[in-house]
Chains A and B, each alone.
Chain A
Amino acid sequence: MDYLVAVLLPQLLHGLVFGAALGLLALGLTVIFGLLGVMNFAHGELYMLGAYAGIAVVGATHSFWAALVVAPLAVGAIGAVTELTTLRPLYRREPLYGLILTFGLALVFREGARQIWGGDMRRIVPPFTGSTPLLGMTYPNYRLFLLAASSLLLLAIWLFFTRTRAGILVRAAVQDAEMLDGLGVNVPRVFTLTFAGSAALAALAGLLLAPIFTVYPQMGVEMILLAFIVVILGGMGSMGGSVIAAFVIGLAQSLLTLWMNPQRVAIAIFAIMIVILIVRPRGFFGREGVLE
């Protein structure tokens, strides 16, 4: 019982917190994949830019809340410009070119951040400290806030995709962009706005995680692999699948650390992924035959 409260429960919560943030990151990735057929290698860098933009805003205004609004908007704008100038000309080409292009974008963003903010590890001070007693243990307030905020966001995104016209248009574009175009919808605009939204979500995940992780230019390189794993596990292009897979990976990662050292955990997660790719490449909820 002591073990349960002192060790297992906090670890379980850590997993949920991380899973929720990972869900925000993976959701943008999977929507872009569904729309453009491109695995966006620059997604990790948008996540990183979100954290740095947050640091910049916090530095200027001393308010974490202002950063929470401004940083995603700024990174979303960067995403929109990127989509318009570089991805749009590639619509009709093989997805391979998009993948390689985003790799180039990632290099530019990563090095740009290192030039502007330097290569040091940075931190954001959490907007509130202290902890709350919970089920016989105490848990940091900020992590609880992170869990609540991410979960609310995920819920909001779900409502957006199911209840609003804009969300339904995006889903229609994922299903069949040509048909949607034939129905008179400005599909390129849907693409651009969706890319901007996905960039903003990545930025939000970066900023929300910044107070518990460290911020450095390469932070996206490690996260993007995990996000890829989540997207595949959930099934490429499946949004619900991505969210569920994000929680599965978050929980698996934090529970496995109880029994293994971190590098073994990394290898274990990779091993899970390899098995999934071999046995059931469409993941939990992917459509059969998509790019198999």
Chain B
Amino acid sequence: MWLLLALLPALPFMSKFYLLLAFDALLFGTIAMSLDLLMGYTGLVSFGHAAFFGLGAYASAVLLERGIVSLWACLLGALLVVGLYALVVSFFATARRGIYFALLTLIFAEVVYTFFRYTQTFGGSDGIQGVPSPRLIGDVAIDTPLRNYYLVLVYLGLAYLACRVLVTSHFGRVLVAIRENEDRTRFLGYDVQRYKLAVCMISALLTGLGGALYPGRSAFATPDLMLWTVSGEFIIMVMIGGLGTLAGPVVGGAFFVLLQEKVSSYVDWYFIVIGLVLIFIVLFMPRGLLGVRDLLGGRRWRTTA
């Protein structure tokens, strides 16, 4: 699978346009995967991941705009900004369950959105436009779609490894226990809130790092990246792929991006199609695309359900 993805740019029809599309597919796949840590494994639905993504993008865009073009500086900046914000959100949100968790993350994200939307220092509703490409080391700029593609592929690989190690570890088992029965996990002596806080932070940071890669591809960061409907789209990606599978949400994210692109090139009412696909999946295949694989017999993907 990884080999296929690595060889993908060698295909003859992979123009720059398709490479950028592939970049988006993998980037949003990675973000959906980090959201899956919360949704699928811990049973917490975050409606505020767009803020982590957008803050990462802004942190990186601001640095690039000010002439700090090192990729590592951008990533570090995103880690700091997203980390600080995520710490506050997670601290308060993890004290609540279910719908209250979803709403707290949603409202915190709306505060961030409103702030960036109306603060002229960060370009207001236009955001930050036309930032230069980040440099990997020295003068090596990540300025072509091909280099961007490999960058995001490496990021996806590392993030996937990290998540996979996480969910198979003792820590991951406790998360699943929290999802299944929070009270019982607490009675067993686990400090449930600390586990939830930790997984929130990890998920937020992975999303923020993904956001930091975005301005390198698009040369902009706008407040629209943080609108709560974007958080909804992340949730859709996880649902399409299959909750609690890690690989599923990657597929779901890629599927969502490609579906949006394909349908929108034929009709301009693609949101209707996406909405209908989502409704269909909730009604008829609640385990997502990977659930279909299970139905067909093969169980190559590990699920926790």
Bound pair: A and B? yes
Chain A residues within 8 Å of B, Cβ to Cβ: 39, 41, 86, 89-90, 93, 95-97, 99-101, 103-108, 110-112, 114-115, 221, 225, 228-229, 232, 236, 261, 263, 266-267, 270-271, 273-274, 277-278, 281, 291-292
Q: Does residue B156 face the partner (Cβ distance < 8 Å to A)?
A: no
Contact A271 B96 (CB under 8 A): no
Contact B282 A291 (CB under 8 A): no
Closest 8 CB pairs of A and B: A107-B275, A104-B278, A108-B275, A111-B271, A263-B118, A104-B279, A104-B275, A101-B282
Expressed in whole angstroms, the Cα–Cα distance for A284 and B95 within the complex equals 19
- 10 residue pairs of the A-B complex, CB under 8 angstroms, read A39-B99, A95-B98, A100-B235, A100-B282, A103-B232, A104-B279, A107-B275, A112-B269, A232-B103, A270-B107
Contact A106 B118 (CB under 8 A): no
Contact of A274 among B92, B115, B229, B235 (CB under 8 A): B92
Q: Which residue of B lies closest to A291 (CB)?
A: B98
B: interface residue count bin: 35 or more
Contact B229 A277 (CB under 8 A): no
Contact A225 B228 (CB under 8 A): yes
Given contacts A103-B235, A103-B236, A107-B278, contact A96 B45 (CB under 8 A): yes
Contact B272 A86 (CB under 8 A): no
Q: Does residue B276 face the partner (Cβ distance < 8 Å to A)?
A: yes
Contact of A277 among B96, B275, B276, B278 (CB under 8 A): B96
Q: Does residue B169 face the partner (Cβ distance < 8 Å to A)?
A: no
Q: Does residue B304 face the partner (Cβ distance < 8 Å to A)?
A: no
Contact of A99 among B45, B118, B270, B277 (CB under 8 A): B45
Q: Which residue of A lies closest to B277 (CB)?
A: A104
Chain A nearest CB, measured from B176 CB (Å): 16
15 more contacts with CB within 8 A, not counting A100-B235, A108-B275, are A39-B99, A89-B283, A100-B282, A101-B283, A103-B232, A105-B279, A107-B271, A108-B272, A111-B269, A263-B114, A267-B111, A267-B115, A277-B96, A277-B104, A277-B107
Q: Which residue of B lies closest to A274 (CB)?
A: B107
Q: Secondary structure of the B side of the interface?
A: helix
Q: Does residue B286 face the partner (Cβ distance < 8 Å to A)?
A: yes
Expressed in whole angstroms, the Cα–Cα distance for A101 and B278 within the complex equals 7
Contact B272 A274 (CB under 8 A): no
Chain A nearest CB, measured from B131 CB (Å): 25
Q: Which of B84-119 contact A (CB under 8 A)?
A: 92, 95-100, 102-104, 106-108, 110-111, 114-115, 117-118
Q: Which residue of A lies closest to B227 (CB)?
A: A221
Contact A101 B100 (CB under 8 A): no
Given contacts A101-B282, A270-B110, contact A291 B271 (CB under 8 A): no
Contact A228 B103 (CB under 8 A): yes
Expressed in whole angstroms, the Cα–Cα distance for A95 and B228 within the complex equals 20
Chain B residues within 8 Å of A, Cβ to Cβ: 45, 92, 95-100, 102-104, 106-108, 110-111, 114-115, 117-118, 228-229, 232, 235-236, 239, 269-272, 274-279, 282-283, 286
Expressed in whole angstroms, the Cα–Cα distance for A106 and B279 within the complex equals 10
Expressed in whole angstroms, the Cα–Cα distance for A152 and B56 within the complex equals 49
Q: Which residue of A lies closest to B92 (CB)?
A: A278
Q: Which residue of A lies closest to B279 (CB)?
A: A104
Expressed in whole angstroms, the Cα–Cα distance for A229 and B104 within the complex equals 10
Contact A281 B282 (CB under 8 A): no
Given contacts A107-B274, A292-B100, contact A97 B279 (CB under 8 A): no
Expressed in whole angstroms, the Cα–Cα distance for A278 and B97 within the complex equals 11
Complex contacts, B114 vs chain A, CB 8 Å? 263, 266-267, 270
Contact B269 A115 (CB under 8 A): yes
Q: Which residue of A lies closest to B108 (CB)?
A: A274
Contact B276 A93 (CB under 8 A): no
Contact A105 B275 (CB under 8 A): yes
Given contacts A100-B236, A111-B271, A270-B114, contact A90 B99 (CB under 8 A): no
Given contacts A89-B283, A97-B282, A99-B45, contact A271 B276 (CB under 8 A): no
Chain A nearest CB, measured from B128 CB (Å): 18
Chain A nearest CB, measured from B112 CB (Å): 10
Contact B279 A292 (CB under 8 A): no
Complex contacts, B236 vs chain A, CB 8 Å? 100, 103-104
Complex contacts, B95 vs chain A, CB 8 Å? 278
Contact of B104 among A96, A236, A274 (CB under 8 A): A274
Contact of B100 among A107, A112, A266, A277 (CB under 8 A): A277
Expressed in whole angstroms, the Cα–Cα distance for A225 and B232 within the complex equals 13
Complex contacts, A110 vs chain B, CB 8 Å? 271
Complex contacts, B98 vs chain A, CB 8 Å? 95, 291-292
